[in-house]
Chains A and B, each alone.
Chain A
Amino acid sequence: NAGVTQTPKFQVLKTGQSMTLQCAQDMNHEYMSWYRQDPGMGLRLIHYSVGAGITDQGEVPNGYNVSRSTTEDFPLRLLSAAPSQTSVYFCASSTRQGGKTQYFGPGTRLLVL
């Protein structure tokens, strides 16, 4: 099993550009989440999904959209990138909502100029 995969590994955007961060898992997990990790702020939940077709907002959802058309994929879209969105983004999956064992991907480092 590949576990949780994320692409790209690193991306540079200009302010106002849009992009999609890809996330896929092959563990048949129902629950998937997106976090951002910033120095001094820890991991903060952006959006989450409890199954295909069902998504909801986390604590920092502004400027991001998600969709979940399949169990495996959970892309994160930045609509109009801003410098405040410079961060490291992690996708995670688990067998249950808020599961103790969150399986994290390797992360996407995003720099917005």
Chain B
Amino acid sequence: QKEVEQDPGPLSVPEGAIVSLNCTYSNSAFQYFMWYRQYSRKGPELLMYTYSSGNKEDGRFTAQVDKSSKYISLFIRDSQPSDSATYLCAMRPPVNTGFQKLVFGTGTRLLVSP
């Protein structure tokens, strides 16, 4: 079983729709949760991150973490064609727990049509 599971998609939505992207994970030690966005033939770039549980909002984007369910979500409101990309979740345990590396999901490809 992979440490982080993510539906690869593609997820196709019309412009203006609310998009929900999700990841599940198995390691309860994860404390930092990140969302990276990767445009076609480009490197990933950090979109936003959340520490532990709760919500974080940044413009049209909201990241949500439910540690009890080991489930994280990224919501995109009023989706735009420019949001078409692959979204990767990434996670990391606390700083004081040995080797630090990010564990990435496989990514969900999102297509927003005009």
Contacts and interface: CB of A to CB of B under 8 A. Distances in A.
Contact of B106 (A33, A41, A100): A41
A97 B46 contact: no
A45 B106 CA distance: 13
A40 B102 contact: no
B27 to A, nearest CB: 14
Interface stretch (B13-21, B36-44, B60-68, B70-78): B36-44
A101 B46 contact: yes
A107 B44 CA distance: 10
Contacts of B57: none
In which size bucket is the chain A interface?
20 to 34
Given A100-B46, A100-B49, A106-B42, A42 B101 contact: no
A43 B88 CA distance: 9
Given A40-B8, A100-B49, A48 B101 contact: yes
B11 to A, nearest CB: 16
A74 interface: no
Contacts of A104: 43-45
23 contacts: A4-B43, A33-B101, A42-B4, A42-B6, A42-B107, A43-B44, A43-B104, A45-B101, A90-B43, A90-B44, A92-B43, A97-B100, A98-B92, A100-B32, A100-B34, A100-B46, A100-B92, A101-B46, A104-B43, A104-B44, A106-B43, A107-B41, A107-B43
